Amino acid sequence: MTEAETRYPQMEKLALALVTSARKLRPYFQAHTILVLTNLPLKNIFLKPETSGRLVKWALELSEYDIQFGPRTVLKEQAVADFIVELTPPSQSTESDLSWTIYVDGSSNERGCGAGILLLAQGGERFEYALRFNFRTSNNEAEYEALLAGLRVAKRLGANHVKVFSDSQLIVNQIKEEYQTNDPRMEKYLTKLASAYETDLARSVPVEILDSPSILEPDVMEVDTPSPSWVDPIVEFIKGNPPQDPKEQKKMARRAARFTLREGALYRRGFSLPLLKCVTPEEGLYILREIYEGACGNDSGARSLSAKVVRQGYYWPTIEQDARQFVKTCDNCQRFANIIHQPLELLTPISAPWPFAQWGVDIIGPFPLGKGQTKFAVVAMDYFTKWAEAEALSHITESRVTSFIWANVVCRFGIPNAIVTDNGKQFDNAKFKDFCSNLGIRHLSSSPAHPKANGQVEAVNKIIKRELKLRLDSRMGRWAEELPEVLWSYQTTPRESTGETPFSLAFGSEAIVPVEIGIPTNRVEQKFKLLLSIIFWTSEFEEKY
């Protein structure tokens, strides 16, 4: 019986049993006279004109059969059993059967990892709970830890039915089996959750400190002994503990000359880069995964991926081999990789006098209908820095294009010297030409039927469409929401023509990306210390004056 059917009155449950039997045994009901033996007035229930709507419907359904009702004779040996069955009172629902509500949220940053839990009962009581993790987790793992902790608290409080709410779209869809789980750690969390349970109280907020992830077996005591790393011999040499073998000592001296030790952390000196933080291969795998699949990931090739890792401030000896192996295991890259049928050729030099002096502008689409009825995108790219701007549009008119250039190019980067476009009607019209002439912008058009003449922006169009396909696959209706992240990944990836990222050419330094929050680089740590010192001196100044 369904949940709604369990709440039917007793007589309607008996009628439902008869209707269900008639549906399942339809050939027998049609071929024979059916005798229903019962001590209850089931026949009168079907004949009453004031019966409920469902009983009227059932009576019409049973009217095609030859059904007769008769009294059920009592057997002495069944008298006690019948008495117990008919007079046993229905079970009363307890407070624990009521539905409880759990709100969970977890996060991770450079200061640590933790989670918050809010439990609400139907009576209005609320119970707040906080967690602090003594181990490093990603944001997704922190969300799972919060969910499991909330279910454990609910189980201790005796709740049998709970409703759980989380702001993580990934976690919710993985639990609902709408998203696949490719990470082995995420699979362990799902397995742990399958054996978990479902969850309230005063305004006090206790803080529980978790020393290990919930996916570890609680019955096994694991002795955590750090495995030897390539960093250890170099650190020992710099601290003044060289190898005993003279040959190994000379070899280590040459190797350690490129490294320095700062506040217990090992860094590698670069020729033209800031200090690179040395990490273990395990941490390197996390860095590769975050840069490749994270918010600013762009599913680039192995060479571009390793270059981006170095530019963000990380180093380990096998970075290039690990990047190649990591890219080979990417399913999306295997399915959506570019198939090149043309031989390589030398790059064609393009001159631009200064940054943001010459822009290429183009329109791509139509895309699947997105948020706000958007189905086109206008793209602009600077020829000097390769910086790109894009905006989703519902209609591609000359007024929309001029508004985009004014807001995203002129107001942000100054009046350009020239703008290169194709011969589309959005650009080849009097309004757009007047807009350019009033600002002193030279409007250059590519050759008709030859879009490669505006090849710079065409290359960006190809990257944007490929990244949207990789990120969304069959959910292309969300392309407008994903467009800013695609642009972020493009701006922070080194371009082959310049060897630099568009962000560094535009602003003189690399952008801080999410992986630097998980494993802080030298500049992030120095920035945090600088902020602390500023706060300290400000508080001292206020106390004195």
Strands 388-393 and 376-382: antiparallel
Q: Which residues of 389-399 are buried (b: 16+ CB within 10 A; e: fewer)?
A: bbbbbeebebe
Nearest to 397 by CA among 422, 432, 423, 371: 432
Dihedral angle sign, alpha carbons of residues 446, 450, 451, 452: negative
Which class in CATH covers the domain with range 231-336? mainly alpha
- How many CB atoms are located within 10 Å of the residue 98 CB? 14
Consecutive H or E run containing 465:
helix 455-472
Q: What is the CA radius of gyration of the chain?
A: 34
Q: Which residue has the tokens 């670069």?
A: 270
Degrees to nearest 5, angle at CA 123 with 119 and 127 = 25
Q: So what's the pLDDT on residue 453?
A: 63
Phi, psi of 262 (to 5 degrees): -130, 115
Phi, psi of 73 (to 5 degrees): -70, 150
Separation of alpha carbons 354 and 356, rounded Å: 6
Q: So what's the pLDDT on residue 29?
A: 87
Given a contact cutoff of 8 angstroms between Cβ atoms, the answer to whether 222 and 211 are in contact is no
Instruction: Name 54's Cβ contacts closer than 8 Å, sequence gap at least 6.
Output: 12
Q: So what's the pLDDT on residue 353?
A: 76
- CA distances 154 to 129, 210, 506, Å, are 11, 17, 52
Q: What is the token pair recorded at 525?
A: 């740590």
- Write down the mean pLDDT value for the chain: 78
Q: Three-state DSSP class for 529?
A: helix
Outline which parts of the chain fall under CATH 3.30.420.10.
100-195, 358-511
Q: What is the token pair recorded at 346?
A: 């030398």
Q: Give residue 392's Cα distance to chain centre.
A: 22
Separation of alpha carbons 483 and 391, rounded Å: 8
Outline which parts of the chain fall under CATH 1.10.340.70.
231-336
Given a contact cutoff of 8 angstroms between Cβ atoms, the answer to whether 277 and 284 are in contact is no
Separation of alpha carbons 294 and 140, rounded Å: 11
Separation of alpha carbons 117 and 128, rounded Å: 6
Q: Which CATH superfamily is domain 100-195 in?
A: Ribonuclease H-like superfamily/Ribonuclease H (3.30.420.10)
Separation of alpha carbons 225 and 222, rounded Å: 9
Separation of alpha carbons 386 and 388, rounded Å: 6
Q: So what's the pLDDT on residue 379?
A: 92
Q: Which fold has domain 358-511?
A: Nucleotidyltransferase; domain 5 (3.30.420)
Q: Which residue has the tokens 């400190």?
A: 209
Separation of alpha carbons 107 and 113, rounded Å: 6
pTM: 0.51
Q: Three-state DSSP class for 104?
A: strand
pLDDT, tens digit only, all 545 positions of the chain: 776 777 777 778 888 888 899 888 888 888 888 888 887 777 777 766 455 677 778 887 888 888 888 887 766 666 666 666 666 665 554 444 456 788 888 888 777 788 888 888 766 677 777 877 777 778 778 888 888 888 887 777 767 777 888 877 777 777 777 777 777 777 777 777 766 544 333 333 444 445 556 555 555 545 455 567 788 888 888 888 888 888 888 888 888 888 888 878 888 887 767 788 888 888 888 888 888 877 666 667 788 888 888 888 888 888 888 888 888 877 766 666 666 656 666 666 677 778 899 999 999 888 888 888 888 999 999 988 899 999 999 888 889 999 999 999 999 999 999 998 888 888 888 999 999 999 999 998 877 655 566 778 888 888 888 888 877 766 777 888 888 888 888 888 888 778 888 988 888 888 888 888 778 787 777 776 677 677 767 776 676 66
Q: So what's the pLDDT on residue 517?
A: 78
Q: What is the token pair recorded at 372?
A: 């706000």
Q: So what's the pLDDT on residue 96?
A: 43
- How many CB atoms are located within 10 Å of the residue 322 CB? 20
Degrees to nearest 5, angle at CA 299 with 520 and 408 = 80
Separation of alpha carbons 23 and 8, rounded Å: 19
